[in-house]
Amino acid sequence: MFCAVTLRTAALSKSFRSAFLAQSTTAHIRSCSARVPRRTRALERTCAMSTGRRVCKVPKGTRDFLPEQMAIRQRVFALVTSVFERHGAVTIETPVFELKETLLGQYGEESKLIYDIADQGGELLSLRYDLTVPFARFLATHGIVSLKRYQLGRVYRRDQPAIARGRFREFYQCDFDIAGQHPPMVPDAEVLRVLIEVLDEFAALSPYHRQRLGSYQVKLSHRGLLDAILQLCGVPKELLRPICSSIDKLDKEPWDVVRKEMIDVKGLTAPCADRIGQFVTRAGKPRELLRELQADHSLCCGKFGAEEALADLERLFSYLEAMGNVLERCTLNLALARGLDYYTGLIFEAVLTDGSTPLGSIGAGGRYDRLVEDFAGKPVPCVGTSIGIERIFSLMEEAERELAQATGRVIRASKTQVLVVGIGKVDLVQRLKLCDELWRAHLAAECLYAERPKMARQLQYALERGIPVLAILGEDELAAGVVGLKRLSTQEQIQMQRGPPLVQAIRDWLASESNQEAGQESVDRDGNCRPEPVASVRDPTATTPGAN
Amino acid sequence: MFCAVTLRTAALSKSFRSAFLAQSTTAHIRSCSARVPRRTRALERTCAMSTGRRVCKVPKGTRDFLPEQMAIRQRVFALVTSVFERHGAVTIETPVFELKETLLGQYGEESKLIYDIADQGGELLSLRYDLTVPFARFLATHGIVSLKRYQLGRVYRRDQPAIARGRFREFYQCDFDIAGQHPPMVPDAEVLRVLIEVLDEFAALSPYHRQRLGSYQVKLSHRGLLDAILQLCGVPKELLRPICSSIDKLDKEPWDVVRKEMIDVKGLTAPCADRIGQFVTRAGKPRELLRELQADHSLCCGKFGAEEALADLERLFSYLEAMGNVLERCTLNLALARGLDYYTGLIFEAVLTDGSTPLGSIGAGGRYDRLVEDFAGKPVPCVGTSIGIERIFSLMEEAERELAQATGRVIRASKTQVLVVGIGKVDLVQRLKLCDELWRAHLAAECLYAERPKMARQLQYALERGIPVLAILGEDELAAGVVGLKRLSTQEQIQMQRGPPLVQAIRDWLASESNQEAGQESVDRDGNCRPEPVASVRDPTATTPGAN
Instruction: Using CA coordinates, name the residue in chain B closest to A511.
Output: B525
Residue B383 sits in the same domain as residue B468: no
Specify the pairing of strand B357-368 against strand B346-354: antiparallel
Instruction: Using CA coordinates, name the residue in chain B closest to A99.
Output: B59
* Partner residue opposite A64 with nearest CB, options B66, B94, B322: B94
Residue B354 sits in the same domain as residue B430: no
pLDDT tens-place string over residues B257-310: 999 999 999 999 999 999 999 999 899 999 999 999 999 999 998 889 999 999
Instruction: Using CA coordinates, name the residue in chain B closest to A439.
Output: B86
Q: Domain tally for chain B?
A: 2
Residue A39: predicted pLDDT: 45
Residue B345 sits in the same domain as residue B213: yes
Least-confidence region, from A167-181, A430-444, B7-21, B101-115: B7-21
Give how far Cα B509 sits from Cα of B481, B512, B525, Å: 21, 5, 20
Mean of pLDDT values over B183-199 = 97
Q: Does A299 carry a binding-site annotation?
A: no
Determine the residue among B53, B55, B93 to mutate to test chain A binding: the one whose Cβ has the most chain A Cβ atoms within 10 Å. B93
The mean pLDDT of chain A is 85
**B450 touches A91 (CB < 8 A):** no
* Partner residue opposite B377 with nearest CB, options A45, A50, A542: A50
Residue B524: predicted pLDDT: 37
Residue A389 sits in the same domain as residue A338: no
Residue B283 sits in the same domain as residue B310: yes
**B96 touches A96 (CB < 8 A):** yes
Asked whether the beta carbons of residue B524 and residue A442 sit closer than 8 angstroms, the reply is: yes
The residue among B403, B430, B460 that closes a domain is B403
Residue A482 sits in the same domain as residue A444: yes
Contacts of A97 (CB under 8 A, 6+ apart): A117, A125, A126, A127, A128, B59, B62, B170
pLDDT tens-place string over residues B415-447: 999 999 999 999 999 999 999 999 999 999 999
Contacts of A96 (CB under 8 A, 6+ apart): A127, A128, A153, A154, A156, B96, B154, B170
**B430 touches B478 (CB < 8 A):** yes
pLDDT tens-place string over residues B470-512: 999 999 999 999 999 999 999 999 999 999 999 999 999 999 9
pLDDT tens-place string over residues B384-423: 999 999 999 999 999 999 999 999 888 999 999 999 999 9
Mean of pLDDT values over B371-392 = 93
**Predicted confidence (pLDDT) at residue B35 exceeds the cutoff of 90:** no
Residues of chain B with C-beta less than 8 angstroms from the C-beta of A148: 414
Q: How far apart are CA A548 and CA A542, in angstroms?
A: 10
Instruction: Give the confidence band of A264 by pLDDT, cuts at 50, 70, 90.
Output: very high
Residue B197: predicted pLDDT: 97
The mean pLDDT of chain B is 85
> Where do the H-state alpha helices sit in A204-340?
207-213, 223-232, 240-247, 255-264, 270-280, 286-294, 306-322
Residue A80 sits in the same domain as residue A190: yes
Residue A165: predicted pLDDT: 75
Q: How many CA atoms lie within 13 A of B93 on its CB side?
A: 19
Residue B228 sits in the same domain as residue B376: yes
Residue A18: predicted pLDDT: 36
| Residue count (chain B) | 548
Q: How far apart are CA B216 and CA B454, in angstroms?
A: 52
Residue A29: predicted pLDDT: 32
Per-position DSSP letters for B121-184, written without gaps between them? SS--EEE-S-SHHHHHHHHHHTT---EEEEEEEEEE-----BGGGTB-SEEEEEEEEEES--ST
Q: What's the distance, CA B365 to chain centroid?
A: 16
Asked whether the beta carbons of residue A141 and residue B93 sit closer than 8 angstroms, the reply is: no
Phi, psi torsion values for B506, nearest 5 degrees? -65, -45
Mean of pLDDT values over B141-169 = 92
B57 to chain A, any CB pair closer than 8 A? The answer is yes
Per-residue 3-state assignment (H helix, E strand, C coil) for A108-168: HHHHHHCCEECCCCCCCEEECCCCHHHHHHHHHHCCCCCEEEEEEEEEECCCCCEHHHCEC
Instruction: Give the confidence band of A518 by pLDDT, cuts at 50, 70, 90.
Output: low
pLDDT tens-place string over residues A457-496: 999 999 999 999 999 999 999 999 999 999 999 999 999 9
Residue A294: predicted pLDDT: 96
CA distance A361 to chain B (A): 25
Q: Is residue B349 part of a domain?
A: yes
Phi, psi torsion values for A278, nearest 5 degrees? -65, -30
Nearest to A497 by CA among A450, A541, A457, A437: A437
- Between residues 241 and 300 of chain A, which touch chain B (CB distance below 8 Å)? none
Q: How far apart are CA A419 and CA A431, in angstroms?
A: 10
B67 to chain A, any CB pair closer than 8 A? The answer is yes
Nearest to B331 by CA among B453, B220, B246, B425: B220
Q: Is residue A528 part of a domain?
A: no
**B482 touches A216 (CB < 8 A):** no
Residue A257 sits in the same domain as residue A270: yes
Residue A520: predicted pLDDT: 43
Nearest to A150 by CA among B251, B74, B347: B74
Q: DSSP secondary-structure letter at A338?
A: -
Task: Please report, for the domain that includes residue A98, its CATH number.
Answer: 3.30.930.10
CA distance A287 to chain B (A): 18
Residue B349 sits in the same domain as residue B254: yes
Residue B18: predicted pLDDT: 36
Residues of chain A with C-beta less than 8 angstroms from the C-beta of B515: none
**B88 touches B535 (CB < 8 A):** no
Q: Is residue B84 part of a domain?
A: yes
Bridge partners for A352 per DSSP: A216, A360
B385 to chain A, any CB pair closer than 8 A? The answer is no
Give how far Cα A502 sits from Cα of A132, A238, A472, Å: 51, 76, 11
Q: How far apart are CA A322 and CA A230, in angstroms?
A: 32
Q: Is residue A59 part of a domain?
A: no
Asked whether the beta carbons of residue A53 and residue B90 sit closer than 8 angstroms, the reply is: no
Q: Is residue A41 part of a domain?
A: no
Residue B356: predicted pLDDT: 62
**Predicted confidence (pLDDT) at residue A188 exceeds the cutoff of 80:** yes
Per-residue 3-state assignment (H helix, E strand, C coil) for B339-373: CCCCCCCEEEEEEEEECCEEEEEEEEEEEECCCCH
Give residue B464's domain range: 14-32+414-524
**A355 touches A145 (CB < 8 A):** no
Percent of chain B past pLDDT 70, that is, above it, reads 84
Determine the residue among B51, B56, B328 to mutate to test chain A binding: the one whose Cβ has the most chain A Cβ atoms within 10 Å. B56
**A450 touches A399 (CB < 8 A):** no
Q: Is residue A525 part of a domain?
A: no
Residue B91 sits in the same domain as residue B164: yes
Query: Which of A80-89, A253-262, B5-14 has the highest average model confidence (pLDDT)?
Result: A80-89
Identify the residue with better confidence: B26 or A175: A175
Instruction: Give the confidence band of A52 by pLDDT, cuts at 50, 70, 90.
Output: low
Instruction: Using CA coordinates, name the residue in chain B closest to A448.
Output: B182
* Partner residue opposite B547 with nearest CB, options A54, A436, A544: A436
B437 to chain A, any CB pair closer than 8 A? The answer is yes
**Predicted confidence (pLDDT) at residue B541 exceeds the cutoff of 50:** no
**B65 touches B93 (CB < 8 A):** no
* Partner residue opposite B90 with nearest CB, options A40, A67, A439: A67
Nearest to B60 by CA among B130, B154, B162: B162
Q: How far apart are CA A455 and CA A470, in angstroms?
A: 11
Give how far Cα A334 sits from Cα of A229, B85, B180, Å: 9, 50, 59
Q: Is residue B334 part of a domain?
A: yes
Q: Is residue A376 part of a domain?
A: no
Amino acid at A467: I
Secondary structure (3-state) at A47: helix
Q: How far apart are CA B322 and CA B194, in angstroms?
A: 14
Residue A443: predicted pLDDT: 98
Secondary structure (3-state) at B278: helix
Residue A234: predicted pLDDT: 93
CA distance A190 to chain B (A): 9
Residue A125 sits in the same domain as residue A166: yes
Least-confidence region, from A350-364, A446-460, B126-140: A350-364
| Interface predicted TM-score (ipTM) | 0.84
Residue A54: predicted pLDDT: 78
Mean of pLDDT values over B144-158 = 97
Q: What's the distance, CA B511 to chain centroid?
A: 27
Residue A32: predicted pLDDT: 36
Asked whether the beta carbons of residue B65 and residue A93 sit closer than 8 angstroms, the reply is: yes
Instruction: Give the confidence band of B523 by pLDDT, cuts at 50, 70, 90.
Output: very low
